Amino acid sequence: MLAAVFSSTRNITVRDYCLRPLEKSELLIKVAYCGVCGTDRHIYEGNASSSLPVILGHEYSGVITDKGSKDAKFDIGNKVVVDPNIYCGYCRYCRIGKINFCENLKALGVTLNGGFAEYSIVPVSQAYRVPNDFDLRIATFAEPLSCCLRGIEHAGISPGNSVVIIGGGTIGLLMVQLVKNAGASRIILIEPDPHKQKLGIELGADYYFSSIEEGIFEKINELTDSQVDVAIECVGNKDTVDQAIKLAGKGGKIVIFGLAPKDQHITLNLQHLFQNELKIFNSFLNPFTIKPAIDLLTQNRIKVQKLITKQICLKDINNFFHNNGFAHNIKVLIINNN
């Protein structure tokens, strides 16, 4: 089969790849679509680790073409979406339900071969069926949405809250919709790109600001009567994290969702935290949130069609990464139409 093999920093080769035989507990999936994620870019650029060599791509959907055991509860021809994160089930964290801290965590598309390929071997435990009439492009959003659901759990939004979302990429625009569904009364998006601003409004934001806009703090304080209840950072940069902390009102919550580069630090004013009783959260992976994410997508409660701004063929993936095709796109899908 054809696969995009990542072998070292900035080095992806699309080549013929020989699949090993299936184990009893595995399925063979013909990949239909695979989303390209910030994590793939971090790995490609050497800012996040992975196994080497490995087939990247962890946001994928497809159709089952073979199974290791006749008893598997799936049938050949079933449409599925994949949860890439594989928890061991027996380490001390798995045994107390904190599976995202699993000491033996493996991930398809990071430490095991993933979805930038014609086919993928997937453990039965990682496959989730979707309805046969469901668009497999939409299904690729299950993984990023599941991660957002973890972040939203921490945000604990109450009806009537004022929420600021910083960053209007895929994650920010999923967050806008989740925050809206949670009953926020004012949703403010901070994003410089006019197309993303417009999409943000269409998907549920009430106001938008450009990050560098003059007097942005005063304007947001005026809109919210100085009470931003939750600020969600979806960029992964120390300056926007700093902005989120400054924007949160008294008793406010800050969810730092974006993944910042390894060497970034911020300075906190401790009296500011003290006097405002600020609560700062992070969000790591997607424990127990894939199923609700799939339900939100299949029931059309979260809209993702307009987030797909580009589709490219598997064979062109090297070009795409090499020329930083991420810029100006929201979600890019690798399409596998062979």
Closer CB to Zn ion, 184 or 259, in the complex? 259
Q: What's the closest the beta carbon of residue 85 comes to Zn ion, in angstroms?
A: 10
Q: What's the closest the beta carbon of residue 228 comes to Zn ion, in angstroms?
A: 27
Please report, as ranges, the residues that interact with Zn ion according to CB under 5 A. 37, 39, 88, 91, 94, 102
Q: What are phi and psi of 171, to 5 degrees?
A: -65, -50
Residue 190 near residue 166, CB atoms below 8 Å: yes
Distance CA 230, CA 243 (A): 12
Closer CB to Zn ion, 60 or 208, in the complex? 60
SS3 at position 234: coil
Q: What's the closest the beta carbon of residue 79 comes to Zn ion, in angstroms?
A: 20
Amino acid at 164: V
Q: What's the closest the beta carbon of residue 107 comes to Zn ion, in angstroms?
A: 10
Apex 78 CA angle, 124 and 293, nearest 5 = 70
Q: What's the closest the beta carbon of residue 212 comes to Zn ion, in angstroms?
A: 27
Closer CB to Zn ion, 44 or 209, in the complex? 44
Q: By C-alpha distance, which of 148, 145, 96, 102 is closest to 125? A: 102
Q: What's the closest the beta carbon of residue 127 comes to Zn ion, in angstroms?
A: 17
Closer CB to Zn ion, 64 or 148, in the complex? 148
Closer CB to Zn ion, 94 or 175, in the complex? 94
Q: What's the closest the beta carbon of residue 305 comes to Zn ion, in angstroms?
A: 18
Distance CA 198, CA 184 (A): 19
Residue 253 near residue 65, CB atoms below 8 Å: no
Distance CA 100, CA 294 (A): 19
Amino acid at 32: A
Strand order of the β-sheet with 279-282 is 207-209, 186-190, 162-166, 230-233, 253-256, 279-282
Distance CA 2, CA 109 (A): 15
Residue 275 near residue 248, CB atoms below 8 Å: no
Closer CB to Zn ion, 1 or 88, in the complex? 88
Closer CB to Zn ion, 116 or 208, in the complex? 116
Closer CB to Zn ion, 37 or 255, in the complex? 37
Q: What's the closest the beta carbon of residue 317 comes to Zn ion, in angstroms?
A: 16
4: Cβ contacts below 8 Å, ≥ 6 apart: 12, 13, 14, 55, 56, 57, 116, 117, 314, 317, 318
